A and B are shown apart, each in its own frame.
Chain A
Amino acid sequence: MNAAADRPLQRGSNLFDVERVRAEFPILGQEVNGHPLVYLDNGATSQKPRRVIDAIRGYYESDNANVHRGLHALSERATNACEGARDTVRAFLNAADRREIVFVRGATEGLNLVAQSWARPRLGPGDEIVITTMEHHSNIVPWQLVCRQTGARLRVAPIHDSGALDMEAFAKLVNERTRIVAAAHVSNALGTINPVKEIVEAAHAAGAIAVLDGAQAAPHDTIDVRALDCDFYVLSSHKCYGPTGTGVLYGQATRLEEAEPYQGGGDMIRTVSFEESTWNDLPYKFEAGTPNIAGMIGLGAAVEFMTELGMDAIAAHERDVLEYATGALDALDGVRIVGTAREKAGILSFVVEGVHPHDVGTIADQHGVAIRAGHHCAMPLMRRYGVPALSRASLGLYNTRADIDALVGSLHKVKEIFDR
């Protein structure tokens, strides 16, 4: 460990020491294609701080055992560690009760769980599900499946050219037929922060439930599910500096009680006979089989890491880099930012006129700059903007203005190559 990492991290302060934070991420020290790595693909997945890696290794080296069953010391330690992670996540989301925190594989599985376990048994022809144009495929396809299974209808609220949700049109779509409103908290392709409080209120006023996809929101700002009053909220660990293969479904206890089990198996039952089985209490009713124990422990460590830095400080730091990046890209001839809503998180999608995003991505990579190029799992949104794909730089808490300078430098190279 270097000296910088030995000192405690800032707590809830705006004095965000980004160099000290960067020192916590072993992966950031490397060179790629002869240049220092500039990692700007956090919307796809974030890097992991040393303490997350250590927590996972520590579990496997010292505490590995199955949970909720053994009476031996290791099993008790493993159980305590992953139930401790549940408590950490409960506090992080400000959920009322630890029973409302269900561990799943990721945001995608969380949304599928709500679709299959809550929606499928109670929807039918005449019912409607409202989503928005900016949704990730994982908040479109599970609902399409439910519609196919139940005869319910999917409605899509449009967006403005800026990438802001058209709240007037949204309000008109939500009516007495609406049973579910499902929306991204933050758009993965545009960075738009949706007015989720208003969305939840509109859903509830119509007698519908509100499902929020927080995959792109949870790493960037404070999430308070009680203040939002949403019925369900999902997030992915790997976008929050934790390991892949783990995520969280928050559900209000009454909603989770109403829902059918998602998968059958061990741990999710209370009693089993060949005639009939009964279900375990929340949240275990939804956690069939041996869970991703190391994943839960790793996520717990990641959430502690973010909490220690302070979500307000993280948000302020990322806002500063986003503003700087927006100005820098705006100043480039032939570069157009897609997604200019007033409320935005650290995601910058853009088009370099006359150059396909994949060519931009390859050239940036040759300069050590990792960005994403593609449809960002949002094909309907690409159609909305009339583009086959976009380049996207997405920020994490360790990004700096210097990272943006490197991105801009690589975009100059793009123009140099393509204008010659």
Chain B
Amino acid sequence: MELHEHRRTLVVAGNGMVGHKLLEILVERGATAEWDIVTFCEEGRPAYDRVGLSSFFNGTSADELSLVSPGFFDQLGLTIHMGDAVASIDRQSGEVVSDKGLRIPYEAVVLATGSFPFVPPVPGKDTPGCFVYRTLDDLEAIREYAAGCRVGAVVGGGLLGLEAANALRSLGLDTHVVEFAERLMPVQVDEGGGSVLRRRIEDLGVHVHTGMATTEIVTAKSGGVGAMRFKEGDDLPVDLVVFSAGIRPRDQLARDAGLAVGERGGVVVDDACRTSDPKIFAIGECALYGGRIFGLVSPGYQMARVAADRILGGEAAFTGADMSTKLKLMGIDVASFGDAFATEPGNEAITYRDPVANVYKRLVLGPPDRRGDRKVAGGILVGDAAVYQTLLQMCRGDMPSPKHPEELIFPAGSGAAVPAVGVGALPGTAMVCSCNNVDKGTICAAVAAGCDSVGTIKGITKAGTGCGGCVPLVTDILKDEQGKAGVVVANTLCEHFAYSRQELFDIVRVHRITSFSEVLAAHGTGEGCEICKPAVASMLASLANGHILDGERAALQDTNDHFLANLQRDGTYSVVPRVPGGEITPDQLIALGEVAKEFNLYTKITGGQRIDLFGARVDQLPHIWRRLIDAGMESGHAYGKALRTVKSCVGQTWCRFGVQDSTTLAIDLELRYRGLRAPHKIKGAVSGCTRECAEAQGKDFGVIATEKGWNVYVGGNGGVRPKHAELLAANLDRDTVLRYIDRFLMFYVRTADRLERTAVWLDKLEGGIEYLRRVVIDDVLGICAELEADMARHVDTYECEWKAVVDDPERMERFRTFVNSDEQDPNVVFVTERGQIRPAFDHEKADPALLTIGAKP
């Protein structure tokens, strides 16, 4: 790099997100050729992602939160003083003085000192156990102190307060939020949105108190926090308090230096981000522009861009910022944009509220134009913010508003036609990432240049690296551009159907198709194969019971389903009757033993608490089943991609530790879902206490008893890639357990790929468990009633497939080894091992002395 002889010095006070963004922009624009840039960082760590702070409690490390690329401060012309801060600015001599006594003559200064958390002046606010939520050091201190605590409270129910509450929750504390205003997030949402948000947060187990003024923090005997006292009402016993009641600009440097500051704080800046001293700039949360503090990262970055340009002699101007926000608080979507409160003249609001799904949407429309059309002017979305990006683009004028914008907030299927507004409709100039000023055109160019993932787009364009709110939009643009370029990731079932399993399932469901030949003729090619035939057979079975061997469906089944038994390596089958919940009577055990002896079957206990009988020939199967059915047993569907078992422990019925009747619930669940055909096998379990003897967390659905009810887990499995199930919902009553599992299973049946277990399906589900909760608990898709009805139909029409066979001579006739002879397959031969049969290996078949031929009925 060519260095100018006359070098100038720029001092940047503060290395937070905005201060660091300024350094990056200056470096990128080559400022270090002329400038020595000296920055002071008060904290022990250089810039890190404060927006993502709460992820620190979910395992994200301080290093991962860092915004400083490796080697950044090693560049010539850049100096950072860690653990030191600017103490004063001597405008007379043109020097800054640091806490540690450094004196640095400057040509220009940028104040990026940010803000500090406001702590209301209540008695006891400095008691041990009181914290603020601003820096990584704060979080570390909270984590350390929380280890000995049970109850935590956050003072402040705004955006940051709820972030802090989520953090306390993830630390395992019983969490309270105390808000002075009458609703949560009063700055972003209105009353309707606030009440929906409140209900959703309460559903997560967080206690919300609004309209409460904290008057004192009461000290416990231990010397730490003991309780909170309010203007009205009883004391709230707490062990830890986090103050998050807003921010105040850190403007002391400016005050001391005699710069203009606002009445309620903030360094006054003009649209060049200059303070009242033209050599001194202020950006970010310490700056006051147009009488306003901008407490978001995106406007801060815009200010950094303006200040950098001005320092380098440019003319960029800051003219205020869009305070639109969309965030996910505790998994809940909250968005607020434009004139959210309809305060501008002529603007009017339309609201949509679904108290069942707990969704609130408010759309603000501008005044009608001369044709009577109204443009989107703002809005509030709580619980479902899927339309945020579309509405925001319309609000900004990047995209035309449709004729009836209000239809955008009503759910699909409500009768209002929702216009399909894809990202393809966005012009290239549409702003996608306002944190980093990246428009759609830039992203499209990156895709055209070969970026094929969101990660590479982030790396090249920086889109999505600020607050991260635009990542879904970036993803959609990527897919849209790839689609246009013909890059298609095929997920088709097989050569006969150009559809994924989910798409084909919808075709079969929507068109009420009842046969394979019908779907093949209308939507496929060729004759079908061993992939699509069983897949379609499974769909037909999931959508309407009816015997799987009836009519044409018989030809679709895999051999296991065709013979209603499990094919083994030598061509014989194994038989597994259902043992619901693993509970079996002595008489049934004796009957099983007698059948095994009579037909000379090998017996083994399975992992699902049942008994497997091996070595049955095709022609023996109906005779074996006649006996089992007479003994009161039924098909266990071990041969099907279907519900297998619901394992259980004995629960409180016998166990000293059990807190609920796990066996009864397991039996209820197994009988409810028996015979349900699915993309893959399904296993369940119910444990009677947290000791989890039934291993419910290793199952597709698992239920664990608590003192208060039942916790439901989903998406676990053993097998090749073992995976623990994830908690879907806690402390449910029995009926709710059934309802949620009904919905979960049917949603899985509808949407999973062929041979995809719930664990993989859940992994691939965008949004994961949180999205699943929104679908099966909050019903954001509005399909829960349908899913429950599908399951109810299954439960009502279930019949034992084996009983239907042994009762029907025509079906019985299919169970023959040879269609034209009563002889047996001479190649099925057994040897004896540990007192039971097993198939002979080839070398043993040559030695007649070793062989035992299976006894014939």
Our verdict on whether A and B bind, yes or no, reads no
Binding site for A on B (CB under 8 A): none
